[in-house]
Structure formats: C-alpha cells, structure tokens
Amino acid sequence: MNIHSLLIYLYKTSKERSMIENKNWNKEEAASIAVAESSREESWLSKSYMQSIFMGDFDITMAYPFPFQKEDDKKIGDEICAKIDQWCQENLNGEEIDRTETIPAHVWKGLAEMGLFAIKIPKEYDGLGLSQTNYMRILSVVARYCGSTAATLSAHQSIGAPQPLKLMGTPEQKKKYLPKFREGWISAFGLTELNVGSDPANLQTEAVLNDDGTWTLNGEKLWCTNGVVADVIVVMAKTGTKKAGSREVSEISAFIVETNQPGFEILHRCRFMGIKAIENGLLRFTNMKLPADSIIGGRGKGLKLALATLNDGRLSIPAIAASSAEEMATFSARWAKSRAQWGKKIGVHENGSDKLARISSGAYAMRALSDYCAALSDIGKQDMRMEAAAAKMFNTELLWEVCDTTLQLRGGRGYETAASLEERNEFAFPMERGMRDARINRIVEGTTDIMHLFLTREALDGHMSKAKPLFSRSTTQEKLAAVGKCALFYPFWTLKQFVPSFLRSFSGFDPKLKKYLRAADRRSKKLALAFFIRMALNGPGLADKQLTLNRIVDIGTEIAVMGLVAARAQTEIDGNDRSNLKTAIYWLHSATVRIDKMLKELNKNSDKEAVQLATQLMDEAELLPEVTTENIQPHIQREFGSELCNGKQTERLRADQSTSIKTGNSEAAAK
C-alpha cells in the first residue's frame, strides 16, 4: 500500500470511526478519554527530543553536548548534599524507621531546620531557592538512607502544595503559604479515591460554591501520602460539569485545604510492604468550609495543574531510582569480587558477569535520562512532558529489574534483612528493604500502564497535529483539508524514512559510539513507519491495542535513552574521561538487541490470545464485594507536621506503636 492509498483509506475509515471519539468505547470510557484530552497541554513549548524519535527524526543535537549541571549550581549542590549526607549518617536510621514504621520527631525537626520542606521555594518566600537538579540530588542523598523519608519529602514537594502554588498560585496564596513550608508545614496531594485511581473522570469528592463565594467540600481521599500529618492538602474536587468536545464531563478544580479546620478527619493510616513509615491515610472531608480564594490555578484547571506539576514533580522518583541503582552497582561489583564459589569469583562466572554488566549499565542509563530531564527542567526552554513521563516509566521499571538482579547475585543474603545480617556480623547491605521500597515507584504518580498511554498520546501528536480531523469527529470539509495537508507532508516524510542511516555523520562522536547512533537512527525510522502504518491500518482501533502501543512506546524510549547514553559518554570523553565508555557500549549494544526483539514482536505476538484468555477468565470469575467506608471511625491521634518540625511536639504519638523509637545509628544499618 503506498502513501496515497493509505491517506484515502484513512479518509474513508475516518468517516465511520474516529480515534479520539471511538465508537467501541462505552460511555464511561469515552468520558474518561474526554477528561484526559481536555486536560492535556495542546501546544508544545518546543520541538521535543522524544516525540521526534517517534516521527523518525533522531536528533542527537538535542542531547549532545550532554547538559551536565552548570559548575556554579553544582558547587551549591555539592555543599548542601555533603551537609545533608553528614546529617543523614548521624540521624537517619533507615532500618529502624522501617521497623517502627515511624519517622521520629527529631528527624522531622532536623529536615525542617535544613529547609528540606522548602527546597525549590524561591528565596523571596524564605525557601532555599534551589534548582530542580539540586532538589533531585538532595532527595537521592536522603533516599540512600531511608526510602520513607525521601518519599515524605517528595510527596510534599513533587506533588504537594509548594509546586502547584509556585506554578499557578495567586500572589496572595504564594505570600500566605510558601513561607510556611520553610517553617516546616507539611503538605500532601489528594487525587485518588476508592473508585478513582488512574482515571480521574469519575471523581466523587465535590466542592459546591456557596452564595458568599466560599466552597463546601465533601468526599474522601485514599492513600494520601503525608495526609496523616499534613497542615495543608491540595485536594482535587469536582466543581460542576463542563463541555469537552460534544460531551458533558466533570469539571475538576484543585483546592488548598487547611487540615486544622472542622470537617477534616483521618479515617485510617494505611500500611504498605515498603516505605513503611510514610504518613499515608484515608481522609474524609465532611461539609468542610473553604474560603473563596482556595482554588489554585483557576476553576476547572485542576487536572491541567496536576499535569503541569507532574512535569517536574515526576522527576524525583527517577532520580531516586538512578541513585539507588548506582548504589547497587557499586555494591554488586564489591560482592562479585569478594564472593567465590566453584573455584571462581561469582562475577567471573558468565552469569555473574552478565548481571554486573546489566546492573551497572542500567544505572548509567537511568542517570543519563534523569539528569537530562533535570537539565531540561532547569533550562526551561524545551518541552519535556514526554521525557519526564518516560523517565518515570523507564527508571522505575529498570530499577525493579536492577533490584531483582542484584538480589539474585547476592544469593540468600539478598533475601535476608539488613538487621539480621548485621547481627551475625555480615555486611548489612539493605537489599531486602530496598526491594520492598522500590516496588511502589511503578505504581504512584502514574502507573507504568498509564505512562504508556500518556506517552502514546503525546507520540501520536506528531501525526495528530496534521491529521487530527481524520481521527476525530469533524466535518467532511475539515477531513478533506487534512487529507490535503497530509498529502503534502507524508510523501516527503515517508521518503525520508528510507534515507540510509550510514549517511549521517554524527560528527564529534567516538567511532565506537557513532556505530550505535546510526543503529538508533535506523531504528527510529523503522519505528516511525511501523507506528504510522499501524495508525493508518487500525484507525481508531489502534487505541485498544495497548500491547502494540506499549511496544511502540518502549522502542521509542529505548532509542531516546540510547541517544542520551551516547551523548553523556561522549561529553565525558570530551572532558578526557573515558571511564564509562565500556558501560555505555554495553548498554547501547544490549539496547539494540531489545529494540529488535520488540520490533519483531510488533508482527508476531500472543496479544490476541491474551485478550481471549482474559475474557474467559473474567467471565468465569466471581465479582468482589462492594467496598464501603461508612462504618470506619476515625481513630488516629492527630499530629501536625508543623509541630513536629518546629519542635513543639518532641515525641511521636503512636498509640499503635509498641516499639520505642530509637535515635541511634550504625553505619551499616543506616545504609
């Protein structure tokens, strides 16, 4: 099928079906998509490095020279990170915090004294005014000691109140709240509800406008991290309905809610397999009166605000992931060298070598992606929505693999707790706790599935911007105009995808890296064609082929990371440092193998069989009972982060805590 037949086919099918308004979707599904569509940022700040890859344009100039942290900013980061590292060594006992499931009062106070609840808040509001890069570095330092404490800081600053206020707060809101975080006020973000997880369209929490301009808030929020001790919570609530295309959908607004007001209750403190000390709760708001000026970013802008916040907010998790992987890489090499079985060091057995290579190159790749995003955020000139989402997805998935590989390399000691290892005088590398703590990252701030959907939508936009009327409900005239536009664009675009990659010079790159850049370029073109052909052939049905789309997104992400790894390695070489070249080469080589496998799987897979089997399994399964929170009575002793942070409250009030909370530390247990 040539490009013109494809366009004719597209036009014909688009008359009956549309991708944004798919007739296969039920009412709820269509409403969810409409809400997501209406909250996405339509315009792009600039050309996107990642989106270009899905269009067959592998533009290494957007990554090379690699944007390492600027010297002056690095100096600031080095100093503060050294100070925090020292403090963590003396005060942050990750094992103890995990065991007691509680962050002690002295830790809250210490964090607040160092300004760690106001890291990115501008100095004019008493914050530390640090860059995104230094924020990510600080969280990474803390995470090396205690996942719960890092998650607490991250929930407050990545999704909690400071960032939305900074981005979209009114001058009055900024003046009122931002300085409070320097005093140790703690914030949280409440979107999730019992029936609202990945899909906010069905939000039940509701704020009703009163005659005097105030609001009355009712509803419940589940799994609100920091919610149990928060002084303020950013609460997403329905404020009415609005039109999204032809549909009536929920209008969602973001409210800043002070938790010392009547009507706020903590129903339950949730317990988890990892990051056990986070103050995460099920919260209830009953007829809670909110002042007229408590909306952040304007009425109905809640989800847009959440997405804008997450552009930067999503970056702390990938940074923590990269740092954890680096720790595992360093430790694994030590272990592989120290442990011998069957007459050889375990790292010398080929199985061990493979594990070491995967762990350390994975850490290098994660670092490249995370640092690239940090730089994009600090420079602020390049659209980074896809890179941030890819970093969240890629680094958390890879972290899990790295954890599993490290644990396996460590053998039985990987499964043993650090406390037990220490008690019998072994080096207490906390692999067991690390693995438990790492698991949540694939779920919060957008599950991996949702990141795939998000990235698919943004990747599609390269085509959508030209052919949108063909994929949505539009008039015949609009569709014909789109066909005309496409007829001009696509023949040349298609031809470009066949330009051989060996013609690209990639000047400035070491020949060993050049080879892989050409490989990435070739695969980017293959990907773009495969994506376009599937779009054209499946039309709106492609939206339901999630496994195909996952592969497309994963291939694009791998190619993007290849570019960043090569750019990072080359920039290091330019500074006379060749120490990471082997690591980069291994990563680049293994990435091409993974990409080729996924490209093959686009054509040969078991997706259809999976769907058939799942349908049968669900037909046969019994439904779970309905969930209700009606009979849950609040029983949590109320504590405020601000009081813990300013030293007014010096002991935790854990009624359910039988163990005392020690402040002691030991190097191995803390690490």
Here the tokens at position 605 are 């897979």
Q: Which helix (H) or strand (E) holds 208?
A: strand 206-209
Region 610-669 residues binding ligand FAD, contact defined as CB under 6 A: none
Binding ligand FAD by CB under 6 A: which of 54, 181, 185, 223? 223
Q: Least distance in Å: CB of 225 to ligand FAD?
A: 3
CA distances 510 to 513, 567, 578, Å, are 5, 10, 11
Distance (Å, rounded) from C-alpha 451 to C-alpha 221?
A: 22
Q: Which is nearer to ligand FAD, 199 or 572 (CB)?
A: 199
* Residue 225 interacting with ligand FAD (CB under 6 A): yes
Q: Is the CB of 22 or the CB of 360 nearer to ligand FAD? A: 22
- What string marks each residue from 349 to 388 as x (binds ligand FAD by CB under 6 A) or -? ----------------------------------------
- CB-closest chain residue to ligand FAD: 197
Amino acid at position 30, single letter: A
Q: Residues 6 or more apart from 455 whose CB is under 8 A from it? A: 50, 386, 389, 390, 393, 553, 556, 557
Instruction: Establish how many alpha carbons lie within 13 A of residue 5's alpha carbon, considering only the half-sphere containing its beta carbon.
Output: 4
Would you count residue 447 as binding ligand FAD (CB under 6 A)?
Answer: yes
When the beta carbons of 440 and 560 are compared against ligand FAD, the nearer one is 440
Binding residue for ligand FAD (CB under 6 A) from 197, 263, 491, 647?
A: 197
Residue number with CB closer to ligand FAD (9 or 272): 272
The DSSP bridge partners found for residue 188 are: 233
Question: Does the protein bind ligand FAD through residue 300 (CB under 6 A)?
Answer: no
Asked whether 39 and 385 are in contact (CB, 8 A), the reply is: no
- State the Cα–Cα distance between residues 142 and 92, nearest whole angstrom: 8
Q: Are 68 and 124 in contact (CB under 8 A)?
A: no
Q: Among residues 183 and 449, whose Cβ is nearest to ligand FAD?
A: 449
**Please, how many CA atoms are within 13 Å of residue 387, restricted to the half-sphere of its CB?**
27
Binder among 198, 210, 260, 663 for ligand FAD (CB under 6 A) = 198
Verify binding: residue 189, ligand FAD, rule CB under 6 A. yes
Tokens read off for 53? 């890859």
CA dihedral (276, 279, 282, 288) in degrees, to 10, reads: 180
**Options 416-424, 446-454, 587-595, 597-605: segment touching ligand FAD (CB under 6 A):** 446-454
Total chain residues near ligand FAD (CB under 6 A): 22
**Closer residue to ligand FAD, CB minimum distance, 197 or 541:** 197
> Which of residues 333, 357, 443, 530 is near ligand FAD by CB under 6 A?
443
| Candidate ranges 142-150, 298-306, 438-446, 617-625; the one touching ligand FAD (CB under 6 A) | 438-446
CB nearer to ligand FAD: pick between 158 and 405: 158
Report CA-CA distances (Å) from 648 to 113, 192, 250, 487. 13, 31, 42, 69
Distance separating alpha carbons of residues 651 and 661, to the nearest angstrom: 9
Which one of 63, 105, 155, 566 is in contact with ligand FAD (CB under 6 A)?
Answer: 155
255 part of the interface to ligand FAD, by CB under 6 A? no
Q: Rounded distance, CA 544 to CA 640, Å?
A: 45
Residues 545-564 interacting with ligand FAD (rule: CB under 6 A): 546
Q: How far is the CB of 269 from ligand FAD (least distance, A)?
A: 12
- Binds ligand FAD (CB under 6 A): choice among 93, 280, 396, 472: 280
528 touches 55 (CB < 8 A): yes
Catalytic residues: 445
Cβ(144)–Cβ(437) under 8 Å?
no
Which stretches of the chain bind ligand FAD, using CB under 6 A?
A: 155, 188-192, 197-199, 223-225, 272, 280, 440, 443-444, 447, 449-450, 453, 546
